[in-house]
Amino acid sequence: ISNRSSGKMGVALAQAAHSRGASVTLVHGPLTVALPNGVSAVPVTTALSMLDALEAQLPHADVLLMAAAVGDFRPKTVASQKIKKGLEKESLTLVANPDLLMSTKALNPACVRVGFAAETQHVEQYAAEKLKRKGLRLMVANDVSQKDAGFQVDTNRVTLLDGKRVQLLPLMSKLDTAHAILDRVLGLLPRNRKPR
Ligand code: PMT
């Protein structure tokens, strides 16, 4: 239902893209770091409100970088009043959230869609499967079993997959990781859309 994502990777991507001259909109959940200057921010609190924000932004976007750790499930009902002790049920009924990458796929077919895959085992294999299933141009595979990579920390160690080539990147700051991802994204943009 929830996870310990800090928003650091998403903020680093926004900062790196802005520093390269891109016009950036950061659709974000709770953040533990400051918003970068010059970036337009759309705060959201649920997967469904993130979907609404993406539907509004995507038609105008050249690139979607999806670093958010979106919850796969949500409680079926939300209590309108405080649940009193003794009356609570012992289990929560969950329903599946929509997959945002899949749900927004048809909105702008020209948009270069980049996903992240947080995995703890068979990282490359699972990331390659998600790349294909979600119809993405690039997948950033994140081994979140390592203490110095993934959730909350300032560094990351990722592998980039595009269906043909597998590029292992060393341990780097999240900002340097973001720039390495953007270097690959530049190669996927039509020539006349490259910011520089
Ligand atoms: O925020 P930090 O603390 O810096 O941590 C960064 C990070 C570990 C969250 C980030 O680097 C990362 O790996 N993000 C993806 C985490 C994740 O949810 O992966 P996933 O394997 O569940 O999802 C695969 C892709 O589908 C992701 O691009 C995700 O945004 C997307 N997704 C997932 C669920 C959903 N309902 N809709 C989606 O679009």
Per-residue pLDDT of the chain (196 residues; tens, 9 = 90+): 788 899 999 999 999 999 999 999 999 999 999 999 999 999 999 999 999 999 999 999 999 999 999 999 999 998 899 888 887 678 889 999 999 999 999 999 999 999 999 999 999 999 999 999 999 999 999 999 999 999 999 999 999 999 999 999 999 999 999 999 999 999 999 876 655 4
- Which residue, judged by its Cα, is nearest atom 5 of ligand 1? 151
Give the Å distance between the CA of 68 and the centre of ligand 1: 5
Any idea what the Cα angle at residue 155 is, between residues 149 and 157, rounded to 5°?
Answer: 50
Query: How far is the CA of 132 from the CAs of 126, 128, 137, in angstroms?
Result: 10, 6, 9
Q: What is the pLDDT, as a whole number, of residue 195? A: 54
Q: What is the pLDDT, as a whole number, of residue 83? A: 84
For 191, residues 6+ apart whose C-beta sits below 8 A from its C-beta are none
Q: How far apart, in whole angstroms, are the C-alpha atoms of residue 110 and residue 185?
A: 13
Substitution site in 50, 101, 157 for ligand 1 pocket (most atoms within 8 Å of beta carbon): 101
Q: What is the pLDDT, as a whole number, of residue 192? A: 65
Q: Look at the chain and count its residues.
A: 196
Residues taking part in catalysis: 3
Q: What is the pLDDT, as a whole number, of residue 90? A: 80
Among all chains, which residue has been given the structure tokens 């796929």? 105
Q: How far apart, in whole angstroms, are the C-alpha atoms of residue 85 and residue 68?
A: 34
Q: What is the pLDDT, as a whole number, of residue 89? A: 73
Q: What is the pLDDT, as a whole number, of residue 27? A: 98
Give the Å distance between the CA of 33 and the centre of ligand 1: 18
Which of 145, 147, 143 is CA-nearest to residue 123? 143
Give the Å distance between the CA of 10 and the centre of ligand 1: 10
Q: Which long-range contacts (CB under 8 A, 24 or more apart) does 97-102 make?
A: 97/47, 97/48, 97/70, 97/71, 97/72, 97/73, 98/47, 98/48, 98/51, 99/134, 100/47, 100/50, 100/51, 100/54, 100/66, 100/68, 100/70, 101/64, 101/66, 101/134, 101/136, 102/134, 102/135
Q: Is the CB of 52 under 6 A from ligand 1?
A: no
Q: Is the CB of 72 under 6 A from ligand 1?
A: yes
- Which residue, judged by its Cα, is nearest atom 14 of ligand 1? 67
Q: Is the CB of 111 under 6 A from ligand 1?
A: no
Give the Å distance between the CA of 196 and the centre of ligand 1: 28
Q: How far apart, in whole angstroms, are the C-alpha atoms of residue 118 and residue 70?
A: 11
Q: What is the pLDDT, as a whole number, of residue 91? A: 86
Residue 66 tokens, joined: 């999806």
